[in-house]
Amino acid sequence: MRIHDISQPLGTGTPVWPGDQPVRLDWTMSRDHGDSVNVAALTLSVHAGTHADGPRHCDDDGARPAELDLATFLGPALVVDGRGRDALDVDAVDGIDLARAERILFRTTATGDPGSFPVRFAALTPALAHRLGDAGIRLVGTDAPSVDPFDSKTLAAHRALAEGGVAILENLVLDDVAPGRYTLVALPLRLVEADSSPVRAVLLEDVP
């Protein structure tokens, strides 16, 4: 079995959504300063790096990460090549048997730049979001920082996916992943008060 780590490296240089909390790391204990152990403390947005957008992100009554069904974030997934598109519309899934897809991850860039935040990226159209929900897709992921355009105020794709019961993964790293079928493991943290959660996302590939 081959393991593809599709998580963004998370550190103080990780780009975040403009205006969001930067990633900060402090050492509360350090062997260099005479302590018996090294202990680090993190301050970060739950949307930093690869993360699951929870229902509470766009809905004050939505579920928190600790309340999410973990089975949604574990299981068969289909990686779809969406490179070269300005947006991901319904034709992005032409020829795909959505009844067998269950989870879909869209690769939209040739090579991501882990050191900068992109303001232009291929977002999902509301029509595609509704199509995925109507088809019973459990989860959609993207290597973009959002399923909606950067300047969106209505977050129509987020809301359409929520209406269809479709979970969201954002900021995936799919540069070295070929289109095809894999097993996804991307469990959110058991956060009881936040809206969303960082994940360590991997794809498992069966090899001969």
What does the block give as tokens for 184?
């996804």
Residues 205, 208: Cα–Cα separation, whole Å: 10
Distance of alpha carbon 174 from the chain centroid: 11
Is 33 assigned a catalytic role? no
Geometric angle at alpha carbon 46, from 42 and 48, rounded to 5°: 80
Q: Is 162 exposed, middle or buried (0-12, 13-18, 19+ CB in 10 A)?
A: buried
Q: Which of 4, 51, 57, 158 is catalytic?
A: 57
Q: Where do the H-state alpha helices sit in the chain?
A: 98-101, 126-134, 156-163
Contact yes or no for 69/190 (Cβ under 8 A):
no
Active site (catalytic) residues: 57
